[in-house]
Amino acid sequence: MPDVTKTAVENADPMAATAADAAAATGPAPQAEKARSLWGDAWRDLRRNPYFVVSGILILLLLLIAVFPGLFTSASPTYADLRNHYLGKPEYGKVFSAEWLGYDGQGRSVFARVIYGTRASITVGVSVTVLVTVLGGLVGMIAGYFGGWVDTILSRLTDVFFAVPFLLGTLVVLNSFTDRTVWVVSGALAFLGWTQIARVMRGSVITIKQADYVHAAQALGASTSRILMKHILPNAVAPVIVVATIALGGYISAEATLSYLGLGLPTSVVSWGQDISGGAQQIRTAQHIMLYPSIMLSITVLAFIMLGDAVRNALDPKLR
């Protein structure tokens, strides 16, 4: 029995019948690929970047050492036995033991101090990065969004702090404290380290606030706080994350420099800077005291710089 419906369609519109047959032969039309967001696209690129993979593994290992140092050594970093005064050279056959990397002048295990010194350096670096990102981001966002006299005052204030040499100014600030804890050192470094973040955030906000969706939100009567937090900040924070990630390694290095100069963390706190300072006095006779903290410091700074470069390449559209 002939198909009456198909015949009627062909008689009414031959072109429609031809299109219908072609559609039936090729099957359903493929769905359009879902558009990825900036963060989704960046994560896709980061996973393929060997610098991100290597730096990520190193940073995870450093964080594990900082949080759980007891997993890597059972020796105490503060236990001193003068019978081990500069005892011997590193025992490379005794991996992860107290005498693996030798002893310092007070008979303390160099390996234990390298392991436990990770906590102070990582804590200072992360704390300073969080503080400067919050403070500098807030100043830059307010200055870039409101403009006018607000921008002028905040920009000149930023220039004043930016004109002060970073390490020299931090030395002056720390010199006024008798009890220099980890948080005091972090606060002193953040006090002068927020200016670069503020400048980056200000420039990013000035660009973002000209977008159509920001003007639409203003026309609909959205509050200033909602526009800043829902529309401005999520789209302006990418370059800030890049700068903060790269700067984190610099803050760790700055803490070690301050401790080396004697105005950083106190001697009661185990840190790489303290050990490097003590080892520098015995560089001719006991090089291992200074060598291994320096290697750990270099690896840590390099890992965060590599991570910052990978994030920059993923988030900066000009480099894609």
pLDDT tens for each residue of the chain, 320 residues long: 444 444 444 444 444 444 444 444 444 544 444 556 666 777 787 788 888 899 999 999 999 999 998 888 888 888 877 777 666 566 655 665 666 777 887 878 888 889 999 998 899 999 999 999 999 999 999 999 898 899 999 999 999 999 888 988 999 898 888 888 889 999 999 999 999 999 999 999 998 888 888 888 888 888 888 888 888 888 888 889 888 988 888 899 898 888 888 888 888 888 888 888 877 777 777 777 888 889 999 999 999 988 888 888 777 655 55
Q: Does 46 map to a domain?
A: yes
Contact assessment for residue 312 and residue 249, using Cβ atoms and an 8 Å cutoff: no
| Token representation of residue 125 | 């670096």
Exposure letters 187-220 (e unless 16+ CB within 10 A, then b): bbbbbbbbbbbbbbbbebbbebbeeeebeebeee
Contact assessment for residue 144 and residue 204, using Cβ atoms and an 8 Å cutoff: yes
The HSE-up count of residue 150 (CA atoms within 13 Å, CB side) is 11
Cα angle 141, 188, 267; round to 5: 150
Task: Give me the CATH number covering residue 104.
Answer: 1.10.3720.10
- Nearest CA to 183 out of 239, 114, 130 is that of 130
Place of tokens 């503020």: 198
Give the sign of the dihedral formed by CA 236, CA 305, CA 269, CA 63.
positive
What's the pLDDT at 276? 86
Q: Does 23 map to a domain?
A: no
Q: Does 3 map to a domain?
A: no
Return d(Cα 38, Cα 44) in angstroms, integer. Answer: 10
Q: Does 16 map to a domain?
A: no
Place of tokens 């955030």: 201
Owning domain of residue 95: 38-77+85-319
Contact assessment for residue 6 and residue 21, using Cβ atoms and an 8 Å cutoff: no
Contact assessment for residue 184 and residue 174, using Cβ atoms and an 8 Å cutoff: yes
Return d(Cα 275, Cα 291) in angstroms, integer. Answer: 9
Return d(Cα 278, Cα 144) in angstroms, integer. Answer: 46
Q: Under DSSP, is residue 124 helix (H, G, I), strand (E, B) or coil?
A: helix
Q: Does 17 map to a domain?
A: no
Contact assessment for residue 265 and residue 180, using Cβ atoms and an 8 Å cutoff: yes
Give the sign of the dihedral formed by CA 107, CA 267, CA 250, CA 248.
positive
DSSP code of residue 229 = I
Q: Does 4 map to a domain?
A: no
What's the pLDDT at 318? 56
Terminal CA-CA length for the chain: 62
Return d(Cα 71, Cα 145) in angstroms, integer. Answer: 49
What's the pLDDT at 143? 92
Could you give the number of structural domains in the chain?
A: 1
Return d(Cα 92, Cα 95) in angstroms, integer. Answer: 6
Q: Does 11 map to a domain?
A: no
Return d(Cα 262, Cα 256) in angstroms, integer. Answer: 10
Q: Does 33 map to a domain?
A: no
Cα Rg of the chain, angstroms: 29
